[in-house]
Amino acid sequence: MRPGGSWLYVWLDVETREIAYVGATGFDPELRAYLHVTSEDPQLGWVRATVPQYDERTLDVLAFELPDGVDQAAANQVLITCLADVGEYTGVSGAASDLRNAIGPVLQALDNHRGMASQESAAS
Q: What is the pLDDT of residue 9?
A: 94
- For residue 100, CA distances in Å to 66, 86, 88, 96, 105 come to 23, 13, 15, 6, 9
How far is 93 from 87, CA to CA, in rounded Å?
A: 14
Mean pLDDT of 75-99: 77
Q: Which of 25-39, 82-96, 108-122 has the highest mean pLDDT?
A: 25-39
Q: How many domains does the chain have?
A: 2
Do 101 and 77 reside in the same domain of the chain?
Answer: no
Structural domain range at position 2: 1-92
Does this model's pTM top 0.85?
A: no
Do 49 and 61 reside in the same domain of the chain?
Answer: yes
Q: Which residues does 36 contact at the CB level (< 8 Å), separation at least 6?
A: 21, 23, 44, 45, 46, 47, 48
Do 27 and 72 reside in the same domain of the chain?
Answer: yes
**CATH code where residue 80 lies:** 3.40.1440
